Amino acid sequence: MLSLDHVSFSRCHRPILNQVSLAIPAGEFTAILGANGAGKSTLLSLLAGELTPQHGHVRWAGQDLRELANSQLARVRAVLPQNPGLGFNLSVDEVIAMGAYPFAELSPSAVAEVIQAAQQWADVSHLTGRRYPTLSGGEQQRVQFARVLVQALAAQQAGEYRCVLLDEPTSSLDPLHQHGLLAAAQKLAQEAGIAVVAVLHDVNLAARYCSRITMLAKGSIIASGIPCDVLTPDHLQQTYQLAATVIAHPQDPKRPLVLFDC
């Protein structure tokens, strides 16, 4: 299991995260919520192994992330970055196939199988054969998501712990595709038993799809747990500096619905 153990991180002597501890359990879809500059993306980068904390440890199954080889980590952890850009002329299929790069041992047919599944999950089957630079921003985002799905699903053994990190995956998507992507991520957690973490801005989307929510404010965790425990007016005030009303969702009473009062 991937976990943060009293992690502190600062950039140019400016503290960004302070004594953060968090576990990312398998089969759960965890949302990370917080205002701008709360340290959400830094938290994700620490989980991804891109950054090393000044204090504390990021652990993978008890082992410090620094001790794991990059190539080893890539076989169990996939990341969807915030603004995937691409200046070079590749086809959609070539981009999606990159998800299988860490698994050089897979046969071409096995790779093709995973790619097909990922394309369906990410709803990009109709984009095959297109050149990546000709796609719209939202389409590019979904193609990148399909690549991440390939990396998450390829050669997965039964019961193997794997983790997928999504940094603001819905930022350039229309409402329909926002729901589509988050539903696919939820399915990834529930059906493939993968630990999914997403940095999100929309509180109600998080409440709809995520099984756990972690709220960050000024580099510290305010609350962490199941949505109806975490999404309280008090926590929301602390996180966003906004007064909020939380009611039961009219169509799904177990799910909280957040209304910001402004």
Residue 2 in contact with other proteins, rule: CB under 8 A: no
Per-residue x/- track, 140-169, other proteins (CB under 8 A):
-----------x------------------
Residue 50 in contact with other proteins, rule: CB under 8 A: yes
Residue where the block lists tokens 């099984």: 211
Nearer to other proteins, 4 or 80 (CB): 80
Cβ proximity of 127 and 135 under 8 Å: yes
**How many residues contact other proteins, by CB under 8 A?**
32
**Which span (89-97, 120-128, 181-189, 246-254) binds other proteins, by CB under 8 A?**
89-97
Candidate list 71, 120, 125, 245; residue touching other proteins; CB under 8 A: 71
**Which span (2-10, 59-67, 80-88, 254-262) binds other proteins, by CB under 8 A?**
80-88
Half-sphere exposure of 101 (CA within 13 A, CB side): 14
| Distance (Å, whole) CA 62 – CA 186 | 26
User: Residue 38 corresponds to which amino acid?
Assistant: A
Q: Which two tokens stand for residue 238?
A: 């602390």
Q: Please name every residue paired with 216 in a beta bridge, in sequence order, or none if there are none.
A: 34, 221
Candidate list 85, 108, 159, 250; residue touching other proteins; CB under 8 A: 85
Residue 64 in contact with other proteins, rule: CB under 8 A: no
CB of 105 to other proteins, least distance (A): 13
| Distance (Å, whole) CA 199 – CA 30 | 9
Give, as ranges, the residues between 110 and 139 that touch other proteins (CB under 8 A).
131, 133-134
CA 23 to chain centre: 14
Nearer to other proteins, 111 or 203 (CB): 111
Residue 235 in contact with other proteins, rule: CB under 8 A: no
Residue 255 in contact with other proteins, rule: CB under 8 A: no
Phi/psi of residue 148, nearest 5 degrees: -65, -40
* Number of H-type helices and E-type strands within the chain: 9, 12
Residue 105 in contact with other proteins, rule: CB under 8 A: no
Nearer to other proteins, 24 or 217 (CB): 24
Candidate list 34, 39, 53, 84; residue touching other proteins; CB under 8 A: 84
Residue 245 in contact with other proteins, rule: CB under 8 A: no
Q: What is the DSSP string of 137-160?
A: HHHHHHHHHHHHHHHHHTTPPTT-
What are the CA-CA distances from residue 227 to residues 16, 32, 163, 214 (Å)? 25, 11, 20, 9
CB of 81 to other proteins, least distance (A): 6
What are the CA-CA distances from residue 146 to residues 37, 93, 139, 197, 251 (Å)? 28, 10, 11, 16, 31
Binding residues for other proteins (CB under 8 A): 48, 50, 69-75, 77-79, 81, 84-91, 94-95, 98-99, 101-102, 104, 131, 133-134, 151
